Amino acid sequence: MEFLTQKYAQSLPERTWHALKKKINPPKPPARPEEGTILNHVIAIDGPAASGKSTVSRELAKRLGFAHVGTGTLYRALTWKLLDEKVDFSKPALVAERLKTMKIECGIEADTLVMRLDHIDPLPHVRDGEINEYVSAVAAIPAVRQSLLEKQRELLNHGPLVVEGRDIGTVVFPHTPFKFFIDADPEVRAARRAKDGEKDSVASRDAQDAARKAAPMMKAKDAIRIDTSTLSIDEVVETVLGFLEGKGLFENADAHAVKEAK
Ligand code: CDP
């Protein structure tokens, strides 16, 4: 596998935020990279449902010139596929059996996640009404998480990423120094989801996500918690950028590139 060059270093998008105007030093390949080793940055953003993390992550990725990956989409996509095929996901063994033959392809196009399940694009279906109801049950199945873990890490081969989910800082990219846990009061989150016009029991999904044995939703010890209850999206993005600057993303880019991808 070839060592990938850093596209964001080549053409930085216009930004308004003052500190971002500084030149970002691209991570350099090690002198003799091990075969298949890719160095890239990952900003890990975890948090409960409707905490604002998706909007914040997308905006952050745009400002940094990184690709955005919403990993919830992967779990939603598998949920759609299993529902579509009427696989009984109350029986984890049946799900594991089906996953053995399912071709799961993930990639990045136009700085965002693309996916195929047995050659079909599941993304048009991932916000279907019934997915919210079942996705946490599907995401709790160890075989499901196992089938997606390497796929997520391999996305880093495409370039630097802002990755949001529930276990990004704890399990998927534990070695990144850039970790955030975006939270908000439960009432605020329920109200936000209702405003989106989506039927979603945020509290019940959070409870399931936090209680499961396999990669439960939790704040990584070294993640920075940001409560967005009274903050605008822009304020949260600015806060995150401030922490990233403090952690040296813009000064010393080489030192923090992550080597999770195989
Ligand atoms: O957008 P919202 O916060 O409502 O949810 P999402 O990010 O699309 O995630 C949907 C569901 O996928 C979550 O409720 C979790 O059950 C699961 N998920 C997970 O288990 N691990 C992740 N890294 C991301 C999502």
- The 10s digit of each residue's pLDDT in 115-125 is 999 999 999 99
Nearest-atom number in ligand 1 for the CA of 138 is 16
Helices and strands per DSSP (H, E), number in the chain = 9, 7
The closest residue, in CA terms, to atom 19 on ligand 1 is 166
Of the candidate ranges 88-92, 126-130, 230-234, the one whose mean pLDDT is the lowest: 126-130
Asked if the structure places residue 214 within a domain, the reply is yes
Q: How many domains does the chain have?
A: 1
Q: Are residues 155 and 106 in contact, defined by beta-carbon separation less than 8 angstroms?
A: yes
Q: Is the CB of 205 under 6 A from ligand 1?
A: yes
Q: Where residue 227 sits, what CATH number does that domain have?
A: 3.40.50.300
The closest residue, in CA terms, to atom 21 on ligand 1 is 166
pLDDT, position 255? 54
Model confidence band, residue 197 (pLDDT cutoffs 50, 70, 90): confident
The parent domain of residue 225 ranges over 38-247
Model confidence band, residue 18 (pLDDT cutoffs 50, 70, 90): very low
* DSSP SS3 for 101: helix
Asked if the structure places residue 28 within a domain, the reply is no
Model confidence band, residue 198 (pLDDT cutoffs 50, 70, 90): confident
More confident residue, 38 or 175: 175
Asked if the structure places residue 252 within a domain, the reply is no
Which residues of 87-136 form beta strands (DSSP E)?
A: 104-109, 112-117
Q: Are residues 16 and 62 in contact, defined by beta-carbon separation less than 8 angstroms?
A: no
* Rounded CA separation 98/102 (Å): 6
Model confidence band, residue 140 (pLDDT cutoffs 50, 70, 90): very high
Q: What is the whole-number distance in angstroms between the Cα of residue 32 and the centre of ligand 1?
A: 38
Asked if the structure places residue 105 within a domain, the reply is yes
For a mutational test of ligand 1's pocket, the pick from 73, 75, 153, 202, i.e. the residue with the most ligand atoms closer than 8 A to its C-beta, is: 75
Report the half-sphere exposure of 30 (CA within 13 A, side-chain side): 14
Per-residue DSSP letters for 142-154?
HHHHHHHHHHHHH
Q: Is the CB of 139 under 6 A from ligand 1?
A: yes
Asked if the structure places residue 5 within a domain, the reply is no
Q: Is the CB of 152 under 6 A from ligand 1?
A: no
Asked if the structure places residue 219 within a domain, the reply is yes
Q: What is the whole-number distance in angstroms between the Cα of residue 117 and the centre of ligand 1?
A: 18
How does strand 224-227 pair with strand 179-183?
Answer: parallel
Of the candidate ranges 23-37, 60-74, 177-191, the one whose mean pLDDT is the lowest: 23-37
Give me the residues paired with residue 161 across strands.
42, 67
Q: What is the whole-number distance in angstroms between the Cα of residue 189 and the centre of ligand 1?
A: 14
The closest residue, in CA terms, to atom 12 on ligand 1 is 72
Report the half-sphere exposure of 97 (CA within 13 A, side-chain side): 7
* Rounded CA separation 17/186 (Å): 31
